[in-house]
A and B are shown apart, each in its own frame.
Chain A
Amino acid sequence: MAKQRVLVVGGGLAGLAAAMKLAELDIAVDLLSLVPVKRSHSACAQGGINSVNDTTRQLGDSEYLHFDDTVYGGDFLQHQPPVKEMADWAPRIIDLMDRLGVPFNRTVEGYRDQRRFGGTLFKRTAFAGATTGQQLLYALDEQVRRCHAEGKVEIYEGWDYLGPIVDDEGRCRGATAQNLVTMEIRAFPADSVVLATGGCGLLFGRSTMSMACTGSAASRSVQYGAKYANGEFIQVHPTAIPGADKLRLMSESARGEGGRVWVPRTPQDSRLPRDIPEEERYYFLEERYPKYGNLVPRDIATREIFNVCVNEGLSVEGDKQCVYLDLTHIPREELDRKLGGILHIYEKFQGVDPRDQPMKIFPAVHYSMGGLWADYERTAAGGLNPTSPRNHVTNIPGLYAIGECDYQYHGGNRLGANSLLSCIFTGLFVGPCIATDLASLGASAGDEQFDLLMRAERSKKEMEHKQLLDRPAGGENPYVIHQELGQEMTKAATVVRRNDQLQSAVDKIYELHERARNCSLSDTGTWTNQNVMFTKSLLDMFPLAKALLQGALARDECRGAHYKPEFDMPGIESEDPAERRQQAEAWCDKFDAKNKKWLKSTIATFDSKGDPTLSYEDVDTSLIPPRPRLYGIVGGDIIEQVWKERQQKASQAEPAGASS
């Protein structure tokens, strides 16, 4: 038997962590990436990475509370065991990254410094300047380079994953990929393939994501039978700098460090922001959410900013939607020390110094909570079995999904500074699980018996490539179709979703998909043809776009980042105690009914044309019972009280019920 190998696709935090851990377990690794791994999208994460730590523990924090915050923030749409495991691992992960030399910010005494992030009340976030993602990515990149120098990892940069290779028994035996420079197509035999290919922001045209985040690797896998889950859950980041080529992230740490969001009370006030007196400014987050203020979770901040601009007409500019994010009240030295990196970004791309003038920002698509469906095996204690081959495997045996391209950790919405954690955690965790799987396999994809399969799959991809190049001239322009796709998706499926708009977007996307099949290439060359690679990824955006829109259309509720005003459950306005109580009871009834129907993951499977069919999967909520997510809702106190009483009653009734 040839030596078993694992193919890791994607060289961001998740892929690098997996490659490094697998190498440590003495498994041969091939690491495949579209871009040189050091240039992966993980580099863009600014804010930090979460874990309970020695100081927050003394304030009452615990792994359990981190777990609880994550589940609550995700509106209970996650299976709880993986999230619990992640929260339990978090402190060890920060320690490991610290050992690997990440220059985390320090206290005077030399400990790691922490800050507070949206969605939590503890200072749980470790950070390295304003480029934590870059620093973590580099530390892992360095370790993988070391593994490469030691001959444990082969690195294939500039290769595009074309799809898994699945044998007659349905097991993944490798993948096909295409070199972006030579256009060569190869089969990579592998005994397991780990997809760590990130999010799909480019479905929306412009987003905060990098140009490689097309979602095509996930799409190419679902077209081979992998299931896609919770596609409709897309996080829109509240604060981004609107640009012509992309929307640039303005980290939440700008809010975390005291940034204040406001608009002038007079619509399109033409005065300079500094000349507008305090009383003529509308600090809408602080007024509406006194407890959290500017630190409300992402979905709330996003919706409020959207609302203030679109519905209340208070956008700072007449022809462009934006609000002020103001840091000018904070001393310059403090800003430079804590937020230097992100302020530099604003300066660089807008030509304005945010230390002197408030920044103009608006929400932008930022993170895909949904992704490839992946399994797990829980322990009796509610965590994950640390070596189970089921953890993170898709429904195709041998094909694993980790990082942003899996759907496990963030549910309906992701807490700030949890994405870096989930990527590194899944990367490290999946290693021993794959090792178990390989040990039971008893064959190697490098064995002769699979040669025919490898060759057949390669020729199939070569044929598809040739067919694309042979397209007749005069057809559709792929870049124009991508723009149209982006506009449609942005209009119908970002902050606020309405069924009529979603339905019309579904129709439009099916139509665009047809048109995309008739794209002509302006470049038919056989060397570094970016045109043909773009067209391929464009075609593969449609199955995911369809799943996303149809999932959103079907889901008649509000949950996490998915907000439909038609199904909103407003708070309790009444002042009369009896009436308040009654309304709160009714609210809780409605909440219960909604959960019975919708506390389920959307699962999409695809036919040969790339059209999805939806079904639903129950969520494991056995560790923390679902409760209303009440950040700042009017009358939240009475709802919470009623809810707690009901929970108490139910738990008292349970033992009696069990004995009868």
Chain B
Amino acid sequence: MTASATQRQSFDVRILRQAGPGQQSYWETFRIPYEPNLNVISVLQKIATMARTAEGKETTPVAWDCNCLEEVCGACTMVINGRVRQSCSALVDRLLEEHDGEIELQPMTKFPVVRDLMVDRGRMFRALERVKAWVPVDDYYDRGAGPKESQESQEQRYPLSECMTCGCCVEACPQYLKVEATRRPNESIEEHEARQTEAEQGKFLGAAPISQAILFNDHTTGGMISDQRLEALTSAGGIQVCGNSQNCVSVCPKEIPLTTSIARAGRQATWYSFKTIFDR
């Protein structure tokens, strides 16, 4: 830690705000008294208590998403000092070293803004449905243990299973583009979601759901419907959209080997395409 960081009295946080979907965004700066060991969440908590800008103007508390604050739930993703990451594990001391004296917070750019730093990431969860990211068991009655699994296979599946759908990978992806069906006046929540879902059809899945498809193809029972997953991966918005920029893997907070998953998905998809050609 630099001497200036330990001796500072306060620091500024610049936040890109937006009152609601489709509204004009604007910057606001807040002045935070310095304490050691702060993270971005504790900074946002302080802002909620103050509700006053650095210039002393009264303002509304900043809206943001969070839950566990332990980097397991995936809720608190935002763009911090220009880099997408979880705000709970973004430590103020390090951020101030990175960007002297000021921290900049922005909402993710690939999802519709709900308010301030809060975005709607429903598209990522819907993508999991598109690739059938589950094990298709017969029922939930007692039928004994699952399939035996080697340590090697468990060690391969486990990291993929740590994906918390936080969205860092798609935020960093040049091929993943924002899809926003802005809510119409008097439109119900359900009608709006249906229109948003429709607009997402055929758009790129992104790294996280592709990796999940591989996770389930690797499971003995899950693999029984691997063809259905590969069908999704080879249709519009599937694996072929990936431009192999490798940005996803470098920003993943869980260090999931996303590019390895994508490469494996590519190979499985190729075989699947051959097979379907010859099956015709």
Question: Do A44 and B70 have beta carbons less than 8 Å apart?
Answer: yes
Q: Counting CB contacts under 8 A, is A294 at the interface? A: no
Contacts of A138 in B (CB 8 A): 161
Asked whether A115 is an interface residue with its Cβ less than 8 Å from the other chain, the reply is no
The answer to whether A112 touches B114, judged by C-beta atoms less than 8 angstroms apart, is: no
- Whether a CB of chain A sits under 8 angstroms from the CB of B182 is no
The reply to whether B140 and A21 form a contact with Cβ atoms under 8 Å apart is yes
- Give the residues in chain B near A245, CB-CB below 8 Å: 39, 41-42, 45, 69, 88
Q: For chain B, give the interface size range.
A: 35 or more
* Distance between Cα atoms of A184 and B67 in the complex (Å): 22
B191 is an interface residue with CB less than 8 A from chain A: no
9 A–B contacts from the bound complex (CB under 8 Å): A39-B67, A39-B73, A96-B142, A134-B164, A184-B189, A246-B70, A345-B70, A522-B59, A528-B118
A40-B73, A149-B129 known; A101-B61 Cβ under 8 A: no
How many whole Å from B167's CB to the nearest CB in chain A?
11
Q: How far is the CB of A312 from chain B (nearest CB, A)?
A: 26
* A500 to B133 CA separation, bound complex (whole angstroms): 55
- Decide if A210 touches B39 in the complex (CB within 8 Å): no
Report the minimum CB–CB distance from A515 to chain B (whole Å).
15
Comparing B146-154, B168-176, B239-247, B256-264, the segment that makes contact with chain A is B146-154
Q: Is the CB of A99 within 8 A of B74?
A: no
Within 8 A of B (CB), among A445-498: 477, 479-480
CB-CB under 8 A for A531 and B140, given A39-B73, A101-B135, A101-B146: no
Chain B nearest CB, measured from A424 CB (Å): 11
Q: CB within 8 A of B61: which of A44, A111, A523?
A: A523
C-alpha spacing A567/B266, complex, angstroms: 67
Is there contact, CB below 8 Å, between B146 and A348? no
B81 contacts the other chain (CB 8 A): no
On whether the beta carbons of A110 and B148 are closer than 8 Å, the reply is yes
Interface set, chain B 197-228, CB cutoff 8 A to A:
216, 219, 221-222
Encoded as 1 (CB less than 8 Å from any B CB) or 0, chain A from 353 to 371 comes to 0000000000000000000
Task: Tell me, yes or no, whether B9 is within 8 Å of chain A by CB.
Answer: no
Least CB distance from A100 to B in Å reads 5
Point out the residues of chain A lying under 8 angstroms from B165, CB to CB. 36, 38
Cβ distance A344 to chain B, nearest Cβ, rounded Å = 9
Whether A108 pairs with B71 at a CB distance below 8 angstroms is no
**In chain B between 80 and 123, which residues have their CB closer than 8 angstroms to a CB of chain A?**
88-89, 91, 94, 114-115, 118, 121
A residues at B contact (CB < 8 Å): 20-21, 24, 35-36, 38-41, 43-44, 92, 95-96, 98-101, 103-112, 128-129, 131, 134-135, 138-139, 142-143, 145-146, 148-149, 179, 181-182, 184, 210-212, 243-246, 248-249, 341, 345, 348-349, 351, 428, 477, 479-480, 522-523, 525, 527-528, 530-531, 534
In contact, B133 and A212 (Cβ under 8 angstroms): no
How far apart sit A345 and B86, CA to CA, in the bound complex (Å)?
Answer: 13
Interface centre among A36, A104, A109 (most CB of B within 10 A): A36
Task: Return chain B residues, CB-CB under 8 Å to A101.
Answer: 134-135, 146, 216, 219, 221-222
Residues of B within 8 A of A149 (CB): 129, 132
What's the Cα separation between A149 and B129 when bound, in Å?
A: 7
CB of A38 within 8 A of CB of B63, answer no
- Nearest chain-B residue to A37 (Cβ)? B125
Contacting residues, chain A, for B114 (C-beta < 8 A): 181, 528
Cβ contacts under 8 Å, A106 to chain B: 149-151, 153-154
Given contacts A103-B158, A145-B125, contact A348 B89 (CB under 8 A): yes
Known: A522-B61, A525-B60, A531-B60. A179 touches B189 (CB 8 A): yes
* Contact residue among A95, A212, A244 (Cβ-Cβ distance under 8 Å from B146): A95
B67 touches A210 (CB 8 A): yes
Q: Are B60 and A211 in contact, CB atoms less than 8 angstroms apart?
A: no
B20 touches A527 (CB 8 A): yes
Query: CA–CA, A142 to B161, complex, Å?
Result: 11
Chain A residues with CB under 8 A of B3: none
